[in-house]
Chain A
């Protein structure tokens, strides 16, 4: 079974709108990592969430972790075109990655 599930898999949103990407995990480790991948490029680290209730913010992106629900969210505020990319969450010390959320921000 999938150890890390993300939804949605594809997300098309207008500039200026808000949206949330969800990451459910079934692994035992409660550390959760978020990465960004641009087309044809490799992965770039965004956030590391180390404990229940952890919240990290960078620009228009905010990530949070609920270890009881085994759920992490990546919230996008007032999207801009530069945020278009694929976003991955990873758990169990990065042994397991989700299938990714492909985000397209439309002007």
Chain B
């Protein structure tokens, strides 16, 4: 399809397990964001890539969170030693970048992560 694709849609893990969430952005989109959205809240910024460069990771809540985009397209968000507070919807969004400005983002449907 032409949109942002995230997988899996749902992930249930036991506390302490590692998880990996995948994002396929729209082809050609330079900018890629990861957000965490808790129920009833707005998306909280986690990290930002321009092509393969991770330009901002200030939103990652701890060193258990790691993101990469090695070839400037697909991105993976990895969470190690998951905790219950990691339960949330993880959103990926991509956008074009025109004259140094991020265009409106196209969001994926998100991965709903539940930690038991």
Contact = CB atoms under 8 A, between A and B. Distances in A.
Interface string B75-93: 0000000000000000101
B18 interface: no
Contacts, number: 48
B43 A97 contact: yes
A100 B41 contact: yes
A48 to B, nearest CB: 5
Interface in B57-115: 91, 93, 95, 101-110
Interface stretch (A37-45, A59-67, A74-82): A37-45
A52 B108 CA distance: 30
B41 A45 contact: no
A30 to B, nearest CB: 11
B42 A94 contact: no
Given A41-B109, A95-B48, A48 B42 contact: no
Given A88-B42, A88-B43, 18 more contacts: A31-B101, A33-B104, A33-B105, A42-B107, A42-B108, A42-B110, A43-B91, A43-B105, A44-B107, A45-B106, A50-B101, A94-B104, A94-B105, A95-B45, A97-B45, A98-B42, A99-B42, A100-B41
Interface of A: 4, 31, 33, 41-45, 48, 50, 88, 93-100
19 contacts: A33-B104, A33-B105, A41-B109, A42-B91, A42-B109, A42-B110, A45-B105, A45-B106, A48-B104, A50-B101, A93-B102, A94-B93, A95-B45, A95-B48, A97-B42, A97-B44, A98-B42, A99-B41, A100-B42
